[in-house]
A and B are shown apart, each in its own frame.
Chain A
Amino acid sequence: MTQSAIDTTLLAVLAPFLAAAIAPFLTRHLKHNAAWLLALVPAWIFWHFAGFVGPVSNGETFVASRSWAPIYRVDLSFFVDGLSTVFALLISGIGTFIILYAGGYLKGHPQQGRFFSFLFLFMGAMLGLVLGNNLFTLFIFWELTSITSFLLIGFDHLRAASRRAAIQALVVTGGGGLVLLAGFLMIITVTGQVEMSVLLQSPDIIRESGFYVPIFFLILGGAFTKSAQFPFHFWLPNAMEAPTPVSAFLHSATMVKAGVYLLMRMHPLLGDTDLWTTVLPVFGGATLLVGTILAVRQTDLKLMLAYTTVASLGLLVMLVGTSYERALEGAVLYLIAHSLFKGALFMVAGTIDHEAGTRDVTKLGGLRGAMPITFTAACLAALSMSGLPPFIGFIAKEVLYYGTTGAPSAAVWLTITAVVGNALMLVIAAAVAIKPFLGPKVETPKHAHEGPILLFAGPVTLSFLGLVLALTTLFTGHFFVGPMLSSLVGKPTEVELHLVPPYFIGNVPLMLSMATVALGLVLFWQLDRLRALVAAILSGPLRSWGPDKGFDQVIAEIVSLSSVITRALQNGKMQTYMALTFIVTGVAVLLPGYLTGGWPAMPKMPSYHFYEWGIFLIAVIGLIAVLVAKTRLTAIVSLGIQGFAVAIIFMLYGAPDLAFTQLMVETLSVVILALVMTRLNLTPRDHRSGGAALVTGVIALAVGLGLALTLIAITQQPFDRSLSDFFTEYSRSIAHGRNIVNVILVDFRGIDTLGEIAVVTLAGLCVLALIRVHTPRPKDADPAPEKKGEAA
């Protein structure tokens, strides 16, 4: 691998974001045919990562990085090894067909360009996630997948169900992301490392740190929410509200596998402990069973597939949780197989929906004649999903049975769970792929016929790949499964795959496979009865509660709570806001002194000259006069008095610049106040009742006292003049100016001043706008004041 090829990886990760930017323009001009052009982007990414397969299978790893925010140790750093290569290939490869499929599926949709954009953004986020080396980068891409999937699920935003599903997915996966961030931060604090590739060099560093347990649970929180593990599984089926290409992409290959990816990535660091081999299999197994049982109940093609996706993710987590090498190998194989067949099946379901007008299994049948190509693809994918030879699904299932039967602990339970889960998976596969096509022809809402090439290119290719990868076991094992497994176990590992079992007599996995098929066929034969049974169980007391309902309740409670708080705090009364602000200020300045008893020592009053006392007195008199003024003129003049007193104070303490400025400003203030006040026609008299005046007086006095004490405390501290000394020392020698204040303003701190004069300009513009612009009054208002307003 040359360095430039490695560096191109950065471009490959960013390419989808560029494509997202141009997609709307292309789509505007080329309509749905833009898909052909846009698909070149993921195809190129696939080709790029395919170049890594050879070196990676020889045990090499690569890091491509570009500094981003080095102070915070955030770098765009990408790590290419067996695990990330396979994921990158799946994302870009399946992504290519998803883009094509989206071109056909949303043909003529007014927002097709935006849809392409979202898909590309999601693809880029996903690539960044699986390749992310720097933990911060990984987290950023992790949350980006949550946000982009929110956009994708909510694409059809006019429907409330879509919006709900989108918000649900965002809350669950985004919340999990925050938990994950906490986990990452702990890892960084404990180990001092931010690079995954560096962490993997010393795999025991976290297990031996003493912070293993919290880190484990935090990482799990991220992974389980993303990968829809029970009890966080509910968002995934709801996300089926999204257009089918999204479902196929999000739920087959990519986003939901992000959690599994993270577990696999962390396995060398966190795996193989008692905690790991207990928690993961329990939750994974539970998810597998819950997913398959709920899938049986559904009649909607997409929902059935969605629940089996939940189940498959459970299976993967369970297998990763054993930390047993053969089981991990099974997980790797199953992950690849699942991405291919589930992607294909989702697209098939979408095509059926698109062409026949319904996705309800009970209303479909006999489509074989009308859609032969789609039927072929569906059959191939379903056979792979069922785990029948000669498909990659079969090999995966053989290996995973090896894994569960040989697992160091609880092998029996794992095996039973896996057999039941796989049998039910076979039932669903048959129901999804066989039933709509076989049997007598059923009248469908639309007249069904074969879709265009954009629609069937994806399913056909992906389902055929399931066959091809199984037939070339040597190739698959050496280039994909082996390197990926090596990343999981943390040491170079070779695998040997067999499509034809090496021996038949006493081959436990083979017997388990046969048992699975037999059980599956029996259940499929009794599918309607099984569905009724599950529905009967679930319609009982379980119906009114559950995580999905709970989510609604939590959201409703949050909205109510925020309304109550808003009403209490934002009651529309300016006085309340001001009072709250100043009460908090008062507490903030007085509380520390009260708690610590650290009031400043009251020093002796310094000896002021009599004229200084005089000025202080004039200022106070001015202030009091403003308070008690009964007419406008008195108030304005009193305000002027305190302002001029301030100017003289500046003068007395060596600040002639300030004194002049204050003098000018005070003069102008008095002038404009007089100009406005003569027309405000209001007296500045206080209308408060005695009680209210007392309360506000106490608040004001408390804040004033607190600030004065703070100021006394500050001025008693030793003063650091280094900055002032710097300015004084260099004012003449470097900046050629003798007035140090002016030199600071126009030279040393020039950019500050530039900002400040921009603010002054802005204030001037705003005043002008306020004076010139008249808001149109509502029509029903009395027309008389309007005329008056114009005349004024």
Chain B
Amino acid sequence: MRTVIFRTVAPYLSALMVLFSIFVLLRGHNEPGGGFIGGLIAASALAIFGIACGVASVRRAIVVHPMSIAGFGLFIAALSGLPSLFKKQTFMTSQWLEFKFFDVDVALSTPLVFDIGVYLVVVGAIGSIALALEERESD
């Protein structure tokens, strides 16, 4: 599998896929997409990178352990339910903050934070599984 071409292209391909996954994640509320799909795309990117250049380089590239990413995702997803409590609404009632930023409508919301949490969980957990299996392969 580790042909020269593949190894040369893989980092760029992975980077492109991660970028695309973030795009899919952010458009998810209005167009097809969202945290689950984005997360899966990013996890595939990690898997491809891992197959091409070895798991060690992937681990170096993402700095933290993928399960930490998943844990952090779960954490912020749960956290996104809290702001509503301050307004005496039930847990996870969505809160929206809309403003103009250089003539662009920006909408920040707790569902967005939640979706980012979903994205991180899927990247982390699925990526961790894929990397773990690849690591044994390379041994």
Q: Is chain B a partner of chain A in the same complex?
A: yes
- Chain A minimum-CB-distance residue to B125: A764
Residues on B with C-beta less than 8 A from A743 are 29, 111
- Contact of A514 with B by CB under 8 A: no
Within 8 A of A (CB), among B6-54: 24, 28-37, 40-41, 43-44, 47, 51
With beta carbons under 8 angstroms apart, the residue of B24, B96, B130, B137 that contacts A679 is B137
Question: Do A747 and B111 touch (CB < 8 A)?
Answer: yes
**CB-CB < 8 A to A679: which residues of B?**
136-137
A241–B26 alpha-carbon span in the complex (Å): 70
Which residue of the partner chain A has the closest CB to B27?
A: A739
Cβ–Cβ < 8 Å partners of A630 in chain B: none
A771 x B43 contact (CB < 8 A): no
- Measured CB to CB, the nearest residue on chain A to B1 is A674
Bound CA–CA A84/B28 (angstroms): 64
Given A667-B44, A751-B92, A757-B121, A672 and B32 contact (CB-CB distance below 8 Å): no
Any A CB within 8 A of the CB of B58: no
CA distance A767 to B92 in the complex (A): 30
B78 close to chain A: CB less than 8 A: yes
Give min CB distance, A567 to chain B, whole Å.
38
Interchain nearest-CB distance for A507 vs B (Å): 75
Chain A nearest CB from B124 CB (Å) reads 7
Q: A491 to chain B: which residues have CB within 8 Å? A: none
Does the CB pair A746–B43 fall under 8 Å?
no
Among the listed A660, A667, A672, which residue makes an inter-chain contact with B37, where contact means beta carbons less than 8 Å apart? A660
| Residues of chain B from 123 to 139 with CB closer than 8 A to chain A in the complex | 124-126, 128-130, 132-134, 136-137, 139
By secondary structure, the A interface counts as helix
Report the Cα distance A764→B127, complex, angstroms.
9
- Contact call B126/A678, Cβ cutoff below 8 A: no
Q: Are B41 and A746 in contact (CB under 8 A)?
A: no
**Chain B residues within an 8 Å CB radius of A668:** 40, 43-44, 47, 126, 130
> Which A residues touch B47, using CB under 8 A?
668, 671
Query: A739 contacts B30, CB within 8 Å?
Result: yes
Task: Check if B44 sits within 8 Å of A656, measured CB to CB.
Answer: no
Q: Output the nearest chain B residue to A745 by Cβ-Cβ distance.
A: B34
With contact pairs A745-B34, A746-B115, A768-B128 given, residues A754 and B41 touching in the complex (Cβ less than 8 Å) = no
Query: A404 to chain B: closest CB distance in Å?
Result: 65
Q: Determine whether the beta carbon of B118 is less than 8 Å from that of A757.
A: yes
Q: Which residues of A contact B107 (CB under 8 A)?
A: 736
Q: Are A672 and B130 in contact (CB-based, < 8 A)? A: yes
CB distance from B33 to the nearest CB of A (A): 7
Residue of B nearest to A657 (CB): B32
A656–B32 CB distance below 8 A: yes
Q: Is the CB of B37 within 8 A of A737?
A: no
Known: A739-B29, A757-B121. A747 touches B74 (CB 8 A): no
Asked if A579 lies at the interface with its beta carbon under 8 angstroms from chain B, I say: no
CB nearest neighbor in B for A660: B37
Alpha-carbon separation in the docked complex, A747 to B96 (Å) = 12
**Which residues of A710-738 are within 8 A (CB) of B?**
735-738
User: At the interface, yes or no: A758 with Cβ under 8 Å from chain B?
Assistant: yes
Task: Identify A675's interface contact among B81, B109, B137, CB under 8 A.
Answer: B137
Cα of A771 to Cα of B130 in the assembled complex, Å:
12
Is the CB–CB distance between B32 and A746 below 8 Å? no
Q: Does residue B71 face the partner (Cβ distance < 8 Å to A)?
A: yes
Q: Mark B87-104, 1 if CB is under 8 A from A, else 0.
A: 000011010100000000
Whether A671 contacts B130 by the Cβ 8 Å rule is yes
Contact A664 B74 (CB under 8 A): no
Interface contact B132-A757, CB-CB below 8 Å = no
Which one of A661, A667, A668, A754 has the highest number of Cβ atoms from chain B below 10 Å of its Cβ? A754
Q: Does A784 contact B (CB under 8 A)?
A: no
Any B CB within 8 A of the CB of A742: yes
> Within the complex, which residue of A660, A754, A760, A765 is in contact with B81, where a contact is CB–CB below 8 Å?
A754
| Distance in Å: Cβ of A254 to nearest Cβ of chain B | 45
A125 to B121 alpha-carbon distance, docked (Å): 46
Q: How far is the CA of A660 from the CA of B27 in the complex (A)?
A: 14
A664, B40: Cβ atoms closer than 8 Å: yes
Per the bound structure, the CA–CA distance linking A668 and B81 in Å amounts to: 31
Closest chain B residue to A735, Cβ basis = B94
Residues on A with beta carbons closer than 8 Å to the beta carbon of B66: 764
Chosen A-B contacts, 19 in total, with CB atoms closer than 8 Å, are A661-B37, A661-B40, A668-B126, A668-B130, A675-B134, A736-B29, A736-B96, A738-B29, A742-B29, A746-B34, A746-B112, A746-B118, A747-B114, A753-B114, A760-B122, A761-B73, A761-B121, A764-B126, A792-B136
Which residues does B use to contact A, with CB under 8 Å?
Answer: 24, 28-37, 40-41, 43-44, 47, 51, 66-67, 70-71, 73-74, 77-78, 81, 91-92, 94, 96, 107, 109, 111-112, 114-115, 117-118, 121-122, 124-126, 128-130, 132-134, 136-137, 139
Known pairs A672-B130, A754-B78 / 14 extra A-B pairs, C-beta < 8 Å: A671-B130, A672-B133, A736-B29, A739-B33, A742-B33, A747-B111, A750-B114, A754-B81, A761-B73, A764-B125, A767-B128, A768-B128, A771-B136, A792-B139
Per CB-CB distance, the 8 closest pairs between chain A and chain B, nearest first, are A764-B125, A664-B40, A738-B30, A656-B32, A737-B29, A757-B121, A742-B34, A746-B111
